[in-house]
């Protein structure tokens, strides 16, 4: 299996970060017989889950002391439960790491009432993936360039394809369109 360069860099970064948290004892002594909990702020079977489980396999092999890495999914509130767990409950000794969804970065704006964390208190280890986002405006709108977005208001909305209602809508629209042909 070919391993993505981002995954290898992250495994190395996680290893260094976890080793640094071991303090005076050697890393092998600290992690021997221990379990590292890898929290995933997404449901089992999706992309975030796959990335975490792939990295977990490599971490077990490369961290001195060969700790067991257990992946635990906390998909509630689109990673907010996982982020709150890290901030309020998780051990701070190098035995808990997490992969949060990218929408968590906006949580102070979108869900300020449920936030129990400050991103400044988290240690960022690495990035498993890079994504390119694309935005469209309807042809009747006055927005033709990126500069237009800065100069004229544009009301936008968004959906997540994983939402059951959205999936049904996409499926229904696609089926209706194709049944006419």
pLDDT digits (tens, 9 = 90+) for 16-30: 555 555 455 688 999
pLDDT at 158: 63
What is the number of other CB atoms lying within 10 angstroms of the CB of residue 175? 9
Q: Which residue has the tokens 């992309």?
A: 47
45-61 burial: b if 16+ Cβ within 10 Å, else e: eeebbebbebbbebbee
Q: Which residue has the tokens 């280890």?
A: 125
SS3 179: helix
Q: Which residue has the tokens 């544009």?
A: 154
CA distances from 94 to 20, 22, 29, 157 (A): 8, 7, 13, 39
pLDDT at 110: 80
Give the up-direction half-sphere exposure of residue 87: CA atoms within 13 A in the CB hemisphere. 16
pLDDT in tens, 83-138: 999 999 999 999 999 999 888 888 888 888 889 988 888 888 888 877 777 777 78
Structure tokens at 73: 């999914």
Burial of 153 (0-12, 13-18, 19+ CB in 10 A): exposed
């Amino acid at each position: 299996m070919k391993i993505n360069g981002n995954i290898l860099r992250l495994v190395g970064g996680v290893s260094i970060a976890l080793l640094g948290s071991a303090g005076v004892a050697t890393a092998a002594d600290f992690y021997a017989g221990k379990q590292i909990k890898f929290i995933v702020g997404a449901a089992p079977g999706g992309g975030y889950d796959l990335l975490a489980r792939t990295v977990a396999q490599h971490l077990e092999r490369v961290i001195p002391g060969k700790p067991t890495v257990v992946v635990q999914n906390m998909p509630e509130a689109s990673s907010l439960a996982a982020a709150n767990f890290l901030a309020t409950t998780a051990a701070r000794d190098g035995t808990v790491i997490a992969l949060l969804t990218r929408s968590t970065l906006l949580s102070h704006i979108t869900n300020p009432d449920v936030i129990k964390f400050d991103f400044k208190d988290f240690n960022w280890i690495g990035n498993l993936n890079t994504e390119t986002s694309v935005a469209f405006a309807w042809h009747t709108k006055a927005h033709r360039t990126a500069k237009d977005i800065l100069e004229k208001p544009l009301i936008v909305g968004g959906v997540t394809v994983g939402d059951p209602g959205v999936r049904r809508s996409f499926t229904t629209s696609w089926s209706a369109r194709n049944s006419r042909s």
